[in-house]
């Protein structure tokens, strides 16, 4: 039975007296608070793309993956990422410990060629389904 305010389906978010204070006003206050406190959010990883396994003409070597790092286009720039941790983040169907997001961790081992591609070894070999998928190259451990 609708009340004098109308049916709940006909009201917009924030029209209810209890939720009227939860509109864009709070977002504006939060944004101003962030601007006043000079909080800077640092990104701790760089995006990369899983290209393929290391391979010869006929044979693939699935225990070493080739990763193209975003913004890296020569082997000298790729050498900065040697030893950095790599994470392949994916969603699984079944929930484990309250989450269906899983991670396969690895490490950048050496450059591959002259175009900024690096080799990475993962704890478990990456599945072939991940070819072309995004990986995260963490900016730690630092060697600076």
CATH annotation of 45-138? 2.40.10.190
Maximum Cα interatomic distance, the chain, rounded to a whole number of Å: 76
Predicted model pTM: 0.70
- Between CA 72 and CA 73, with CA 123 as vertex, the angle to 5 degrees is 5
pLDDT (tens digit per residue) in 93-124: 999 999 999 999 999 999 999 999 999 999 99
Contacts 24+ apart (CB under 8 A), 47-50: 47/134, 47/135, 47/136, 47/137, 48/86, 48/134, 48/135, 48/136, 48/137, 49/132, 49/133, 49/134, 49/135, 50/88, 50/126, 50/130, 50/131, 50/132, 50/133, 50/134, 50/135
CA 64, CA 42: separation in Å to the nearest integer? 30
Where does the chain hold its CATH 2.40.10.190 domain(s)? Answer: 45-138
pLDDT (tens digit per residue) in 29-70: 555 555 555 555 567 899 999 999 999 999 999 999 999 999
């Amino acid at each position: 039975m609708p009340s004098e305010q109308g049916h709940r389906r006909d009201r917009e978010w924030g029209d209810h007296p209890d939720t009227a204070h939860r509109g864009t006003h709070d977002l504006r206050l939060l944004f101003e608070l962030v601007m006043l406190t000079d909080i800077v959010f640092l990104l701790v990883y760089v995006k990369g793309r899983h290209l393929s396994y290391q391979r010869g003409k006929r044979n693939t070597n699935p225990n070493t993956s080739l990763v193209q790092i975003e913004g890296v286009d020569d082997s000298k720039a790729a050498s900065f990422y040697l030893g950095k941790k790599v994470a392949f983040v994916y969603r699984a169907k079944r929930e484990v410990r309250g989450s269906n997001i899983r991670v396969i961790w690895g490490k950048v081992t050496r450059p591959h060629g002259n175009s900024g591609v690096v080799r990475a070894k993962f704890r478990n070999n990456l599945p072939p389904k991940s070819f072309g998928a995004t990986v995260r190259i963490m900016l730690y451990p630092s060697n600076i």
